[in-house]
Amino acid sequence: MVGLVVLLESCLFVFSTSRAREFAKSGMPHLLRPILGGAEIIAALLFLIPPARTIGGYVLLVIFALAAVIHILHGQPDVGGLVIYAAAVYTVLAAYKS
């Protein structure tokens, strides 16, 4: 379920015009949205495939950490959603290894 939610949110982040307008107001480089969002989509798809779940999960954790750092560096310290997504992915990875 976590993988589907991350995939949906990633697709909205990349393909939604309203999210594009919102992102444009952030002052972050425009190229960042498709690069970070596209990588997140690929990682979420990998996370949904059981043999690739570990790779996809770790890539998602790196992407969430990178996104949090970018937000903080741009004066947007509210990264709670990213922390929750990271915790959910980490929980799935921990359960998958057991």
Q: What are phi and psi of 36, to 5 degrees?
A: -65, -45
User: pTM above 0.75?
Assistant: yes
pLDDT at 72 exceeding the cut of 70: yes
Report whether pLDDT(93) > 90: yes
**How far is it, in rounded angstroms, from Cα 20 to Cα 55?**
28
Q: Is 88 a residue whose pLDDT tops 90? A: yes
